[in-house]
């Protein structure tokens, strides 16, 4: 009976907590007011609100000779893996000072990487196919997402208080490739981040020659 009660109270607590979490809708617009998709948005607490740690594994694929997805985001402490879906070998690398790596990844191979221990902006390339490029942003918050086709994303933020809301993309023509806004979360609310300048062109990850049998490494 006691156990049942405590279970019930736990359930109630969970329901209460989830109802207490604040759905924050973040919308990113370009400088002309058009919705932008696939922009990383995340919220960083400013009042030492407790944040939970997650145990997610991020998988970045190599498919059709491109990094898929082009932009990835993960929380500090998350696991990282690469998965080659192509029928050719890639030579994946990052020249980032905090996170250097380079390895061959064969067709169909999955390669586990050490966990992401620091916040970072990792630029990845393939040393066989110079046109391939991918980005991974490691943030120190569980509240992150990428905007959908309508330019919006909903972050379920547990605690109230002040947060910094950040939109990031390597081609944002803004300081440090990001725009940010401080907000005070009291209840469900919305925030819109608008770019100051036109975004840079996203490089197309595509082989230039339609010819498949080039002799080059």
What SS3 class is residue 103? Answer: strand
**Shortest approach of other proteins to residue 2 CB, angstroms?**
58
Question: What does the DSSP assignment read for 107-143?
Answer: TT-EEEE----S-EEEEEEESS-TT-EEEEEEESSS-
What SS3 class is residue 187? Answer: coil
**Shortest approach of other proteins to residue 201 CB, angstroms?**
9
91/164 with CB nearer other proteins:
91
43/169 with CB nearer other proteins:
169
2/201 with CB nearer other proteins:
201
Residues in touch with other proteins (CB under 8 A): 89, 91, 93, 95-97, 102-104, 106, 123, 125, 127, 130-131, 133, 200, 203-204, 206, 208-217
Query: Residue 127 and residue 103: Cα distance in Å, rounded?
Result: 10
55/209 with CB nearer other proteins:
209
Q: For residues 92, 136, 119 and 24, what is the CA-based torsion angle, rounded to 10 degrees?
A: -170
What SS3 class is residue 176? Answer: helix
**Shortest approach of other proteins to residue 210 CB, angstroms?**
6
């Amino acid at each position: 009976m006691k156990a049942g009660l405590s279970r019930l109270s736990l359930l109630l607590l969970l329901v209460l907590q989830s109802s207490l979490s604040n759905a924050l809708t973040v919308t990113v617009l370009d400088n002309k007011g058009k919705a932008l998709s696939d922009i990383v948005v995340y919220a960083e607490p400013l009042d030492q609100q407790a944040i939970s740690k997650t145990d997610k594994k991020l998988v970045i694929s190599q498919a059709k000779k491109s990094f898929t997805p082009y932009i990835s985001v993960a929380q500090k402490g998350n696991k990282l893996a690469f998965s080659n879906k192509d029928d050719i070998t890639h030579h994946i690398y990052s020249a980032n000072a905090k996170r250097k790596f380079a390895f061959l990844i064969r067709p169909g191979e999955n390669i586990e990487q050490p966990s992401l221990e620091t916040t970072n902006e990792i630029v990845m390339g393939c040393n066989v196919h110079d046109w391939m490029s991918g980005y991974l942003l490691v943030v120190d918050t569980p509240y992150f997402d990428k905007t959908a086709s309508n330019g919006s994303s909903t972050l379920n933020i547990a605690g109230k208080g002040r947060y910094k809301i950040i939109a990031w993309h390597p081609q944002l023509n803004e300081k440090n490739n990001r725009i940010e806004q401080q907000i005070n979360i009291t209840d469900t609310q919305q925030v819109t981040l608008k770019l100051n300048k036109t975004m840079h062109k996203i490089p197309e990850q595509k082989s230039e020659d339609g010819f498949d049998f080039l002799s080059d490494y």
